[in-house]
Every structure is written in C-alpha cells, then in structure tokens.
Amino acid sequence: MNKIFLLYFLLSLTIPCCIFAETIKVGNGQAITSIQKGIDTAAPGDTVLVAAGSYRQGNITINKPLVLQGLNYPALDGEQKFELISIHSPYVTVDGFLIRNSGHSSMTDISGIKIYNTHHVTVINNILEENYFGIYSQQSKHCTIENNRISATSIATELSGNGIHCWKSDSLHISNNHVKGHRDGIYLEFVTHSLVEKNTILNNLRYGLHFMFAHYNSYINNLFRNNGAGVAVMYTRHVIMKQNRFEDNWGDAAYGLLLKEISDGTIEGNHFNGNTIGIFADGSSRIEMEKNTFKSNGWAIRLQANCMDVKVEKNNFIGNSFDVGTNGSLVLNTFKNNYWDKYEGYDLNKDQVGDIPFRPVSVYSMIVEKNPPAMMLFRSFITSLLDKTEKILPSLTPEDLKDDYPLMKPLAL
C-alpha cells in the first residue's frame, strides 16, 4: 500500500500544472476589472482572459507563468507615462492586445512590452502603436515574437526607440511582424543563434534591421522597403542572409545592405531593387554573395579595398547606374559567372559564357568616388567616352577586378 501512495505522489509531481489551469476573466461585467488583480489572483499556468474595452491601469507586471489573452483586442493605454507590460517570469504568453502610448525616457528603455532576464516568453498577435520601444527583450532566451503589428509616427531618431529591440539575448524567433515608423525596425545587439524571418519592415527612420555584435544569426525572407537604410550588419560574424527583398532604400547615405567589419557571411537569393547602393561592404571578409539580383540601383555593390575573400558569383546585374564601385586598386576578391547587362563581349563557342572578361568598375565611378560633384556629368557624352576608352586601355580602374567568365544570359533566380 505504501508503494501505491508513493507512486501517486511521484506522478503528481510530474503532471504539468497546466492540466489544472483555470481561466480568470477580467473586465466587461466580471468581478475582476483590473488586469493586474487578475494576474495576481491567477495561479501559475492559468489563463487571464481580458474582455474587449479600454484599460488605463498603469504598468502591468507578470511574475508567474501564465497566458494573458485578449478578446477582440482590448486596448491598454499607457497615457504616455508608463511601460505597459513588464514580463519577469518564464513561460508567459501575451496574445491579442492593442498596446499604445507608452511613456518616453532618455534614461530607461520604456516599452510597450518588455521581457526581463527570463526565457520561453511568447508575444504574439498584438498591435502596438505609438510606444517608445515596441517589444523589448533584455537578457532573455528562447523567446518568440510573432505576428505583431508595430507602428509609430516619430519624425526624429532621438525621439523614437526601436520597433523590436533585443539585447544580450539568445535563441529568439522573430517572425511575421509588420514594423514601421520607429528608429530601427528590428535591432539586435549581443544576440546569438536567432532567426528573423518573414517580417515586413517599412518606413523606419534609420535601419530596417540593425545588427551589432550579433553572431550566428539568420535573417530570411524579409521585406525591407523605404527605410533610412535597409539592413546594417556591424562587427558581427557568421550571419546568413537569404531570400530577402531590399527595396527603395534611397537617400544620400542609404543602402540596401551595409556590411561593416563582418566576417563569414552568406548572402544568397536576395533582391536589391531601387536602392542608392545595393550592398556597401567595408572591412569585411569571407563573404559569399551568390544568386542575388541587383536591379535599378545607383551602385549595385560598393566594395571597399579593405575587403578580402569576398566571392561574388552567379548574380544578376540589371539596369544599375554603376555595377561595382571601389576606392582603391587592391583586389583581394573574386567575381565569377555573373550576368552583367552592360557586357558587350561575344561568345564564339556558344557555351553561354563570354569569351573576354568584363570589368564592372567604370572609370567614371572611380572619378565620382573621389569627387562626388562629378555626378552632375552622369550620362553625358564625355563620361561615355571615358568609359569606352578605359575598356580599351585600362589605366584608372583596378586591373584585376574583373569577371573572367561573364554569363551571356541572366540567371533564372
């Protein structure tokens, strides 16, 4: 008999608490009208179900595992004073709220939803409007930020935080979010082993996506359109960048993708359309750029002379003002089997590979690199004459920066 009681006791310890979870109803004629009181009343593993309506109840703190669920997007209003939801416990889900008007502060990162030093938190299906920071992950792991709509209308970077801001976090999954109008759409600093996918990032003041010291991450199948600049990857190694679209990031210092002091990166299957610069690479090494399309950009690629072991292979270059720009004659990179619409060579043996090399750096682009006002002469007769002469007798352009095997037809990418 004692063995039977012991067996029942051990089974009770192993059964998840959620089997006995209850639902605590808040608002809309319920006995509990305060969301914080509903959370305080709930046991670990319970669901706090909040009815539709408007709630001006200051900061809401979650310090136990539970589900905070909204019905028909109840509105939590911070009255430009408070952080709305602060999460300090693992295994928390926040689902289905309209969260707006957080406070602003230059001293603390006030957010619509902030995750503090924890793990396994899910923030899903929320609408966040006019918050200083939208969703913030601080020193947290294994969190999911999915299917949220985050927007702000700030007109200056110093007055706005980031839509999704992650600091010293690991193993995050950020997917299917729509972010616009913040300083940076998504910002990752000291973040590792995380995936950013299927997000739409529009009209942010600075960067659509910003990496700082964020190693071993991937961003895949995202859209970055009409931001101050598309994506900036800085002081980072081992980043996978695949199947993204960088569109209409246009301005004096704008680009689709900035690579600053990065190493061991993969850039594959992306589309760069209508950017001032498709890719700007500075001090970067061991980068593979393959099967990308560069179309209608000012510069498709600006590859500084301090980059090394960058492989540019099997890409399409179509309708760009300049295909490649550089600031020196040192060439430590490889161009091979790309399609260049400016190529005027021939293919006598009909193997679909040009018989003479293509030099993608025009002499005029070298002049503009050193004397930007010379851009006023773009498409003039004299610049065309200079480029034709340079192709026959190279003198100013890097002699070794060439594609020895240019393709005659664009790749089907």
Same domain, 145 and 244: no
Same domain, 199 and 341: no
Task: Quickly list DSSP for 359-377.
Answer: ----HHHHHHHH-GGGGGG
Q: What is the mean pLDDT of residues 206-232?
A: 96
Is residue 18's pLDDT more than 60? Answer: no
Same domain, 322 and 353: yes
Residue 4 covered by a domain: no
Is residue 306's pLDDT more than 70? Answer: yes
Is residue 391's pLDDT more than 80? Answer: no
Q: Which one of 172, 200, 227 terminates a domain?
A: 227
Contact 227, 211 (CB under 8 A): no
Is residue 68's pLDDT more than 70? Answer: yes
Residue 368 covered by a domain: no
Same domain, 66 and 93: yes
| Residue type (1 letter), 321 | S
Handedness of CA 270, 274, 275, 281 (dihedral sign): positive
Is residue 365's pLDDT more than 70? Answer: no
Residue 317 covered by a domain: yes
Is residue 75's pLDDT more than 70? Answer: yes
pLDDT at 413: 83
Q: What is the mean pLDDT of residues 223-247?
A: 96
Is residue 393's pLDDT more than 90? Answer: no
Is residue 7's pLDDT more than 50? Answer: no
Q: pTM (2 decimals)? A: 0.89
Q: Which one of 181, 196, 227 terminates a domain?
A: 227
Handedness of CA 365, 322, 185, 413 (dihedral sign): negative
Q: Mapping DSSP to helix (H, G, I), strand (E, B) and coil, where does residue 153 land?
A: coil
Cα(184)–Cα(187) distance, integer angstroms: 6
Of the candidates 301, 312, 244, 245, which has an alpha carbon nearest to the alpha carbon of residue 273? 245
Q: Is residue 2 very low, low, confident or very high in pLDDT (cuts 50, 70, 90)?
A: low
Q: Which one of 182, 211, 227 terminates a domain?
A: 227
SS3 content of the chain, % helix, strand, coil (to 5): 15, 40, 45
Same domain, 234 and 217: no
Is residue 33's pLDDT more than 90? Answer: yes
Q: How many domains does the chain have?
A: 2
R_g of the chain computed on alpha carbons: 27
Choose between 372 and 229: higher pLDDT. Answer: 229
**pLDDT tens digit string along 128-164?**
999 999 999 999 999 999 999 999 997 777 778 999 9
Is residue 235's pLDDT more than 70? Answer: yes
pLDDT at 118: 98
Q: What is the mean pLDDT of residues 391-395?
A: 55
Same domain, 281 and 411: yes
State the chain's mean pLDDT as an integer. Answer: 89
Copy the structure tokens of residue 322.
């300049």
Is residue 229's pLDDT more than 80? Answer: yes
124: domain CATH number is 2.160.20.10
Q: How far is CA 335 from the centre of its chain?
A: 27
Residue 206 covered by a domain: yes
Contact 337, 353 (CB under 8 A): yes
Same domain, 291 and 174: no
Cα(49)–Cα(226) distance, integer angstroms: 38
Residue 277 covered by a domain: yes
Residue 375 covered by a domain: no
Same domain, 187 and 260: no
Q: Is residue 11 very low, low, confident or very high in pLDDT (cuts 50, 70, 90)?
A: very low
HEC states along 280-339? EEECCEEEEEECCEEECCCEEEEECCCCEEEEEECCEEECCCEEEECCCCCCCCEEECCE
State the first-to-last Cα distance of the chain, in angstroms, to the nearest integer: 70
Same domain, 281 and 406: yes
Residue 369 covered by a domain: no
Same domain, 241 and 200: no
Full residue range of the structural domain in which residue 72 is found = 17-227
Task: Quickly list DSSP for 260-274.
Answer: ES-EEEEEES-EEES
Same domain, 248 and 307: yes
Q: Most confidently modeled of 270-274, 304-308, 342-346? A: 270-274
Same domain, 199 and 339: no
Residue 328 covered by a domain: yes
Contact 314, 338 (CB under 8 A): yes
Q: What is the mean pLDDT of residues 331-346?
A: 93
Contact 279, 256 (CB under 8 A): yes
**pLDDT tens digit string along 185-206?**
999 999 999 999 999 999 999 9
The percentage of residues in the chain with a pLDDT greater than 90, rounded to a whole number, is 76
Task: Quickly list DSSP for 192-253.
Answer: BS-EEES-EEES-SSEEEEEES--SEEEES-EEESSSEEEEEES-EEEEEES-EEE---STT
